[in-house]
Structure 1
């Protein structure tokens, strides 16, 4: 939405005074904060106070729709009590063994986080970013929230999202738009825009998001972060339905691939085992693979490179100079580390790389669930113009056309891995141009708004259709301080490999 003036936050959280807060979470990575907490060098109350204070003091960034400082600090105090009971009476080898066991059972114990306001968290309102429906306050966590909380993380609130998570910018009528910490006049992206803004600004060490067409990778790219989209069905708490109707998956957003791997291991339900090096806390397989790659490098990979967008030629996709530079710098880093690069012509010759008609077919797939809705007139009127446009478009489209489009994408997705041909990984640009200013997308006619979102994010949605994993990796910072990225797409089950590859090309 275009805001004449951003409204006040839903909850005005007081600044806690129970501890002297740290500045923010950019001073170290989540892996280090985890280690410091288990070692007793920082408390959960201090970490949670830091998150709440940063979120409150930077409320102009619109990262949060709801903050719950009282519950978060009470939970943090309970966790501190557990840590003291387990560790403080022990010394030497006994204490070291207890630390290892504690970190294996609750690998993210004491670290604050927040979920986007599309996911149910017990006791917190779920708005789904819309003023058309009343918020609900669930009694139970969504399974993913339950899993993350079970790892010891502490939710401090709910982060900003677009209405129903549909657009790639996080603006609605319920609270301030999610602004980009690198350039606050610009969007933080979407639909995990609030989560990316919170991590990018140091309010949180890392955050879980969801991605149905790029909603983890887009805001990660906009805010200069690493964002992983796992493959369809890889995470146990995601929808396990086979087929392109199941587009959305959950994935981590973090400053580094190492931190993203730590959160991914938790989200994937991996078991944390003692570090092979014997000098660290227990780690899951993704974090272990990242650390091994950082220490010893990766085996040589074959990297395909494609700049053609599946939205072409229906849409005129133009890459900004910085988008091209980010791709070139990412490819140069991959080549420096011994990987083999090949253009798409190596696989396709003169043929088009992507399936014909993708723009039409994806629009039909994306909007088809909305055609099944029949909201009362007053609810429809309260929805954003883009949402109403999607509903009307889906209802006007003949059912035969919708089914033909979905069938075409099913055929494409069924054999999606063959598109990678001889490659282990496919590299593309990520965003085509700089994140627009707040309100720009919504100021457009809804049809043009949707087209511009496709032009802004020309390589993300096709990966959701394919059901393959992909990761956003920052590789370039321009003269204005904006971050630009490369996208790496992997084969089925390659999430750990992508995290390790991202870690090596961002290694200082």
Structure 2
């Protein structure tokens, strides 16, 4: 088999280890693709070819020495620009950090670099990762690789775009309100928001803030599992980390849909608007599951209160993290982010207590839904990853869905952030395309802690779609 930038990350890593291709040659393949597509798409930023070539040469020398190498050895890699990489320009998409160079790696970066990647640069983000459309005043807008007139999503939009365009074999990101799932849906790749605690984060200004998590993106489930095996697992610096070792997620990943109990809901009982084409594509998944032996029912958990819970905790988090920075530099923030930060200033202790109590209730409802406490038990919940297909890139967010106005940059992301506040793992899997050829992702959700099971289900769906 001839290796290319479209080959799986597993095949690329295996070829480097077997010395069928050198890390230098693999890097050259990807740099050629970057030169072809990145000038238009603007997915990879802070690209440093000279340092990348030095890193590839070092990777080849280490392999030649007979030393043991990591599972990602020799793979070109670009880190999300909100994740600190020691010695590399890391801007967070903000003019306030336009020339910032961190002195240490974040934990997720530390683990990926230890696994042997060749760092080539960063992937573009919206300002401070706020919003599901990737644009900022430092680097500009990232465009969709399928249709460059459209958004690549966000906040891991640069990562998803670079991955889909073959500029990198794997990508990592983070997800608060859908920042791994939304761009995966928009760009036609796989994105996983893991269970709370599955991928520990460090350093954090608040180790007990649990709306945002790090996670993997890939072009198929097997590659996603490979990256998850590297970034998952406990760390003494992260007190809420789950104890399962990352190796538990190492590929191959195999699953079956036979007998699977699937709850399918396009809009969680009318909880939010969904574009008609997206709704039809998600609804069509019933026949895919059923044809493979799954038991599909129209059902959904009661997630009343999820909207208030997410918006309250997000505003509180943003105010705590960025409030003083905004006060000192009001002109340096985009208006939607500034408004979101200021919304946190008026919150009271009672508001925060209410949000956490509601979040506890939502988590319990999901546990009961999967356990069948008040009805049939379900193994997975299926719904849209994004309520809309990729929208025009010259807009900050969709202005309406089915004629219903979207007043803020959050209104159209409820299918993702309603799941966020439950703490459950959720994966966005490429499932179909609109009449205009735009990608649509299927969101599959499992009970908290069941990340491996979720990957097995996603792999089984992938197998059916490709058979």
Change (3 A) 1:31 1:161: same
**Contact kept? 1:329, 1:476, Cα under 8 Å:** no
Query: In the alignment, which of 221, 240, 246 is matched to residue 257 of structure 1?
Result: 221
Query: In the alignment, which of 408, 413, 433 is matched to residue 358 of structure 2?
Result: 408
Tell me the equivalent position of 2:267. Answer: 308
- Within 2, Cα distance between the matches of 1:24 and 1:190? 27
Change (3 A) 1:326 1:287: farther
Structure 1 SS opposite 2:135? coil
Change (3 A) 1:23 1:171: farther
**Contact kept? 2:326, 2:338, Cα under 8 Å:** no
TM-score, normalising length: structure 1:
0.80
> In the alignment, is residue 464 of structure 1 matched against residue 407 of structure 2?
no
Change (3 A) 1:158 1:408: same
Change (3 A) 1:244 1:438: farther
Change (3 A) 1:456 1:261: same
> In the alignment, is residue 374 of structure 1 matched against residue 324 of structure 2?
yes
**Contact kept? 2:106, 2:202, Cα under 8 Å:** no
- Within 1, Cα distance between the matches of 2:268 and 2:396? 21
**Contact kept? 2:131, 2:410, Cα under 8 Å:** no
Tell me the equivalent position of 1:179. Answer: 143
Query: In the alignment, which of 89, 96, 100 is matched to residue 136 of structure 1?
Result: 100
- Within 2, Cα distance between the matches of 1:391 and 1:285? 39
Tell me the equivalent position of 1:29. Answer: 8
Kindly report which structure 2 residues correspond to 1:223-234, keeping only aligned pairs within 5 A, or say none: 223-234=187-198
Structure with bigger gyration radius: 1
Displacement after TM superposition at 1:159 (Å): 0.8
- Within 2, Cα distance between the matches of 1:25 and 1:188? 20
> In the alignment, is residue 325 of structure 1 matched against residue 280 of structure 2?
yes
Structure 2 SS opposite 1:144? helix
TM-score, normalising length: structure 2:
0.87
Structure 2 SS opposite 1:129? coil
**Contact kept? 1:200, 1:224, Cα under 8 Å:** yes
Q: Which segments of 5 or more consecutive residues in structure 2 lack a partner in the other structure?
A: 235-245
Tell me the equivalent position of 2:303. Answer: 354
Change (3 A) 1:67 1:185: same
- Within 2, Cα distance between the matches of 1:257 and 1:430? 16
CA RMSD of aligned residues (A): 2.8
With 251-260 and 59-68 compared, the bigger mean Cα shift is at 59-68
> In the alignment, is residue 74 of structure 1 matched against residue 54 of structure 2?
yes
**Contact kept? 1:244, 1:409, Cα under 8 Å:** no
> In the alignment, is residue 427 of structure 1 matched against residue 427 of structure 2?
no
> In the alignment, is residue 342 of structure 1 matched against residue 309 of structure 2?
no
Structure 1 SS opposite 2:414? coil
Tell me the equivalent position of 2:29. Answer: 50
Tell me the equivalent position of 1:210. Answer: 174
Deviations 1:397-455 (A, max 9, x none): 4453343233322332355322333111111122222211113126979xx99745444
> In the alignment, is residue 62 of structure 1 matched against residue 42 of structure 2?
yes
